[in-house]
Chain A
């Protein structure tokens, strides 16, 4: 595009290729405390520290059997749990979350999906960091 020498990337020690690929698993659940439970479960069973959640309002979804749309009116309070996992463990974590979610919900109202991430940084805590204490 441009032959301006200042714009060309200099050689560096690390390149983006050093970061592994990964998956972003997103889990949409009702705002009833389940999000926190999932994050704790991910940490305890899968040693995953990369889970997060935020609140949102959700519309629609197959709430009743038969797939008729639920209420599209004012929206319901929901939580979005996101977790980043390495390629190798994505399958296992997805199935775990899927089972957790479906076994605790009566009529749907939850969805879980997985997307590809081209670069993921490693996130590890030093060994021996104590857990956050429940006050």
Chain B
């Protein structure tokens, strides 16, 4: 078998023995039937012994565990330390906190794996098959339904609606109405806007339109409508809500499906010279809802008088509703998680089975991925409620206490006011930066970019600037909210600056940058930032903070792109 052993070189003190083995001896023998046809060879199943199986599983789990662990645990530790320094009593329940952090880490791990193994490939196969089987007119309604569905089932932005009871009808009637009586309309309009965004995205994938004009023209209506909103009483507050809806409406599941769909469609109909590989359209799904919600606000102004909203609110306000069993932890998280994944996936499955009549290979692993993402989302959300948002709500009440001039409960701070303010800024930075790093959507976007640039752009090249930008802008957000300023006033100039940079930056980069703005805020950042925002923002809930975060990250990434022109990957493409 061996055709001679010889010692022919040495490497770092290790002597190397070379050995020659014919591959003919290692490859399986094929058999033929009487007619000379090959009898298909089936490789025998590999039987792993316990130890090898353990080693395989261990490295599989460990590779996926440490990523979320390294991000989430420091945030949790920071929150505990922060609370024990500033809050009295410091930390109420360390045990729950620890349990919650574990749940968040495991949940993130499962969710990411599920999205990668199940949700993403399914979206990609669908995107690849649809345009081959159907004409454009058939594809567009399906895509619209998918977009609408993904927005309606998105659990993240419901958190925003749930905090609506802090809004009063007297101070901000239209905002109050949108979060209460008109909330179905708010949801529907956002959903339809997202659906339309997906339709537009599909057209872009088909026709290979340049991204710059598409993004820049979609960016104009939000700006104009917001400026208009300034001149109408009480519409101004709705503008902040509209911008936040835009930032929140596409969660990790929705963005994964969209990204995968785009990838599939581009590979099916594209001509191979696309630089962005289906990127750039998540931003569209964030910008159209802003326009939609603002449009809804103007319709309300035209049709509903302020006085009737206040009158209705006076009736409702006296009732206290006990939440039903399905609206408390953990049932609410379970419901939302199942709702976020299952209907979309069933819709895609049914499409394959009955309409496209396409046989999908490797269904086992797809189902494994989809199934994995459900407990992932549940654990993530339950864990967030138990740990980070719990300490978030303590922070919230602390902030309210500290910021009211007299101190509501009469306690006097142990620190000079300056120290506490500095503490709040540090807190904002940590929440903005670290929680963004943990966002599953950003992880998915990062690996998409890495895969499609063949490693020229790494996931971390994307994630760190984005997180840095988000951290900076949440600090800026605190700086805006503390003196009681309106975030929307700062969004507009930032928006103009972004448009200017977009005009200058290379096309591959703007796609990435705008998309990253659409995927953060997600399930990790939202509960924390909401605690910060509602604590600081009073009756306005700190609305606009999420949009500010998103814009900050877009700005950071665009700046990196412009600064690295010529040195970093895609900037060579014009």
Residue of B nearest to A7 (CB): B29
Given contacts A31-B572, A77-B569, contact A12 B456 (CB under 8 A): no
Find out whether the CB atom of B454 lies under 8 angstroms from the CB atom of A32. no
Residues of chain B from 414 to 457 with CB closer than 8 A to chain A in the complex: 453-456
Kindly provide the distance from the CB of A66 to the nearest chain B CB, expressed in whole angstroms.
Answer: 20
Please tell me which one of the listed residues B32, B453, B458 contacts residue A10 in the complex, with CB atoms under 8 A apart.
B32
Which segment of A53-61, A93-101, A118-126 sits at the interface? Answer: A53-61
Please tell me which one of the listed residues B29, B31, B572 contacts residue A77 in the complex, with CB atoms under 8 A apart.
B572
Give bound CA distance, A57 to B574, whole Å.
17
Residues of chain B from 430 to 489 with CB closer than 8 A to chain A in the complex: 453-456, 458, 461
Find out whether the CB atom of B207 lies under 8 angstroms from the CB atom of A77. no
Please tell me which one of the listed residues B206, B271, B456 contacts residue A74 in the complex, with CB atoms under 8 A apart.
B456
Chain A CB within 8 A of B99 CB:
no
Chain A CB within 8 A of B411 CB:
no
Q: Using a Cβ–Cβ cut-off of 8 Å, how many residues does chain B contribute to the interface with A?
A: 24
Give bound CA distance, A62 to B40, whole Å.
48
Find out whether the CB atom of B272 lies under 8 angstroms from the CB atom of A53. yes
Contact with B along A9-33 (1 / 0, CB 8 A): 1101000000000000000001111
CB contacts (< 8 Å) of A76 on chain B: these are 456, 569, 572
Q: Using a Cβ–Cβ cut-off of 8 Å, how many residues does chain A contribute to the interface with B?
A: 24
CB contacts (< 8 Å) of B36 on chain A: these are 10, 12
Chain A CB within 8 A of B273 CB:
yes
Residues of chain B from 21 to 67 with CB closer than 8 A to chain A in the complex: 24, 29, 31-32, 36
Find out whether the CB atom of B32 lies under 8 angstroms from the CB atom of A56. no
CB contacts (< 8 Å) of B454 on chain A: these are 55-57, 77
Contact with A along B531-574 (1 / 0, CB 8 A): 00000000000000000000000000000000000011110111
Find out whether the CB atom of A7 lies under 8 angstroms from the CB atom of B455. no
Kindly provide the distance from the CB of B462 to the nearest chain A CB, expressed in whole angstroms.
Answer: 13
Give bound CA distance, A18 to B569, whole Å.
45
Most chain A C-beta atoms within 10 Å of own C-beta, residue among B271, B456, B461, B573: B456
Given contacts A36-B273, A75-B455, contact A31 B32 (CB under 8 A): no
Residue of A nearest to B461 (CB): A74
CB contacts (< 8 Å) of A2 on chain B: these are 29
Kindly provide the distance from the CB of A102 to the nearest chain B CB, expressed in whole angstroms.
Answer: 19
Residues of chain A from 26 to 79 with CB closer than 8 A to chain B in the complex: 30-33, 36, 53, 55-57, 71, 74-77
Kindly provide the distance from the CB of B301 to the nearest chain A CB, expressed in whole angstroms.
Answer: 42
Kindly provide the distance from the CB of A118 to the nearest chain B CB, expressed in whole angstroms.
Answer: 16
Chain A CB within 8 A of B208 CB:
yes
Give bound CA distance, A56 to B271, whole Å.
17
Kindly provide the distance from the CB of B507 to the nearest chain A CB, expressed in whole angstroms.
Answer: 12
Given contacts A31-B573, A74-B568, A77-B573, contact A57 B273 (CB under 8 A): no
Give bound CA distance, A134 to B31, whole Å.
48
Given contacts A6-B32, A7-B31, A135-B207, contact A57 B573 (CB under 8 A): no
Kindly provide the distance from the CB of A80 to the nearest chain B CB, expressed in whole angstroms.
Answer: 10
Give bound CA distance, A30 to B31, whole Å.
46
Find out whether the CB atom of A77 lies under 8 angstroms from the CB atom of B453. yes
Give bound CA distance, A56 to B453, whole Å.
7
Residue of B nearest to A10 (CB): B36
Kindly provide the distance from the CB of B275 to the nearest chain A CB, expressed in whole angstroms.
Answer: 8
Kindly provide the distance from the CB of B31 to the nearest chain A CB, expressed in whole angstroms.
Answer: 6
Find out whether the CB atom of B569 lies under 8 angstroms from the CB atom of A135. no
Give bound CA distance, A56 to B273, whole Å.
13
A/B interface sample: 14 pairs, CB < 8 A: A6-B32, A7-B31, A12-B36, A31-B573, A32-B573, A33-B273, A36-B272, A53-B272, A71-B567, A74-B456, A74-B569, A75-B455, A75-B569, A77-B572
Binding site for A on B (CB under 8 A): 24, 29, 31-32, 36, 206-208, 271-273, 453-456, 458, 461, 567-570, 572-574
Across the A-B interface, give the 9 residue pairs with the lowest CB-CB distance, nearest first.
A10-B36, A57-B456, A57-B454, A77-B456, A57-B455, A36-B273, A56-B454, A75-B456, A77-B569
Extra pairs beyond A32-B572, A32-B573, A36-B273 (4, CB < 8 Å)? A12-B36, A74-B568, A76-B456, A135-B207
